Structure 1
């Protein structure tokens, strides 16, 4: 299959972006795609709140902020985030942890990781990326580009929340976005924990097994619209998830119109060094390759893409040298579902080891 054939396969189909760990912007539509204009292009969908009623183990108070839609107008989108802080008698540590999810999950993924970290004294902020979770979902699928995700995330984290001295915990696409965020604003971060993620430039070969899963899923969901998001999560955990938990992963998406964010991640995969985002990735790596911010990898031994191999990050970022990187046995791609307490313990231990 040629690179062009692969691109055509990806365009306009569903995503299992978690299996690729890379992105690029696709600025124009493929042949035959209809690009809505005017008011239709600016329409933003909001998942009804009733869809989130009674979610198991997710008692967190919702918080919201607004970021620019990015269409040149004054339109905005609402971003949901969790902001949990220690309360008496827990003594605050003074540490802020930013938790970034990937595709097709949302902050619900961290529901069992947040409580022990708060109990240890840390503030936890978990965003829902635009198009995911309780955040708004632009109805124009071509709004979802890599750069637009970066713009939304940067505005939310630094302009609206004004987070500083952050410990970033990033998983899957949360890492592919977050690592560039780190490279562009290193002074805002104290340390980083990367989980089953990476930052590829388009020059590397796609992992054979990961590509197999992705291509199979793309063709399957292309024929069986709509995409059932919980099938993705269930397929890449070693745990057997309760039906109520699976329903929580489906909750943000009442129908296919709400799934453009999930689906479009697939067409953001850089297949060659000529991809639109490659220069931005190259620039990010120029910084990351010199960065001594403490950097920890916590990967799942059963992850279908990495197989627990984190050398693409830990061997090339100076701050990762000598750190107690962990490969968790019995953990698949969504290791927060499989080993949440081990994940939380690794984060807390890393913070305590690297405090000045």
Structure 2
């Protein structure tokens, strides 16, 4: 297995993404390490907010939200998951597991910003972030979850099964056009190219192809028991927990009900189903999502 680094020139013309690069070394296990990239904007002493992206995007997805959150008074931290964005990319699909991704993101968190933080999570950012909340609830002041869930078996939707099969078998797995199809706001050619930028060839897409098969949506899959064990710790989380889901997202629409009904901190909040809003909600509703984070951080006393 090789650890790939996407050539820097692939990111030379990224639109509306003026953020400085930050790097940290992550222990991947098996004697391997990788360099993880992250955005770090705002005053380093300001209250932190963590922005966790999903599959197959990267921190570019948050380019519209980052300035709003910085202006509100946050230190904004948006990592590129291992295998995505500017971060290094193991080229073996079988190397990626749910548990490893959780561990790698925990390493990043503990080294970069160990203070209690607000969390915004979408897609796999929620599958990872909500596990982290369950494991260390004191490290999170509030949560805003969008188009995500924490599955522990069951029966997957036809839409998800189609996506999983496409990621596994499609010979033409183009990331940029995929993002464009999953938003309500049409992306420009430059934005589509920005989502393609991290993936110059097939080996660099190993994580992107691996992720859908790692979602524990069926009984017996790896991760089911870990998520079952996480729920008794996540359910009592009584700090503000807001859901803002997309009305036009066929993958996760309706999943917010399970979060609202089970998580203590979700009770009595103004949960919304946003429209127009596809799966990659950050493209469609950046201002509303950012305001949700600001409101929850103020409610939690993290932000004044």
TM range, normalised to the smaller chain? Answer: over 0.9
Preserved CA contact (<8 Å) 1:302 1:330: yes
**For residues 95-143 of structure 1, what are the alpha-carbon distances to aligned partners after superposition, in whole Å with 9 as ceiling and x for unaligned?**
2100000000000000000101101111100000000000000122221
Q: What residue is the counterpart of 2:38 in the other structure?
A: 81
1:45 aligns with 2:4: yes
Q: Where in structure 2 are there 5+ consecutive unaligned residues?
A: none
Preserved CA contact (<8 Å) 1:289 1:318: yes
Number of aligned residue pairs: give it: 302
**For residues 34-71 of structure 1, what are the alpha-carbon distances to aligned partners after superposition, in whole Å with 9 as ceiling and x for unaligned?**
xxxxxxx2x21000000001210000001000010211
Alignment of 1:166-177 (within 5 A): 166-177=117-128
Shift of 1:223: 4.8
Q: What residue is the counterpart of 1:10 in the other structure?
A: none
- Going from structure 1 to structure 2, the CA distance change for 1:271 and 1:240 (only over 3 Å counts) comes to closer
- Going from structure 1 to structure 2, the CA distance change for 1:329 and 1:45 (only over 3 Å counts) comes to same
Alignment of 1:1-356 (within 5 A): 41=1, 43-71=2-30, 73=31, 75-86=32-43, 94-158=46-110, 160-202=111-153, 204-215=154-165, 217-218=166-167, 222-225=169-172, 227-307=173-253, 309-355=255-301
- Secondary structure (helix, strand or coil) at the match of 1:64 reads strand
CA distance in 1, matches of 2:253, 2:223: 26
TM-score by length of 2: 0.95
TM-score by length of 1: 0.81
Preserved CA contact (<8 Å) 2:23 2:36: yes
Shift of 1:331: 0.5
CA distance in 2, matches of 1:57, 1:167: 24
Shift of 1:86: 4.3
Root-mean-square deviation over aligned CA pairs: 1.7
Q: Which structure has the larger Rg over C-alpha atoms?
A: 1
Preserved CA contact (<8 Å) 2:47 2:74: yes
- Going from structure 1 to structure 2, the CA distance change for 1:224 and 1:77 (only over 3 Å counts) comes to same
- Going from structure 1 to structure 2, the CA distance change for 1:67 and 1:304 (only over 3 Å counts) comes to same
**For residues 157-197 of structure 1, what are the alpha-carbon distances to aligned partners after superposition, in whole Å with 9 as ceiling and x for unaligned?**
11x21421110111100100110011011111111111100
- Secondary structure (helix, strand or coil) at the match of 1:224 reads coil
- Secondary structure (helix, strand or coil) at the match of 2:29 reads coil
- Secondary structure (helix, strand or coil) at the match of 1:59 reads coil
- Secondary structure (helix, strand or coil) at the match of 1:234 reads helix
- Going from structure 1 to structure 2, the CA distance change for 1:224 and 1:291 (only over 3 Å counts) comes to same
Shift of 1:213: 4.5
Preserved CA contact (<8 Å) 1:86 1:119: no
Shift of 1:224: 2.7
Q: Where in structure 1 are there 5+ consecutive unaligned residues?
A: 1-40
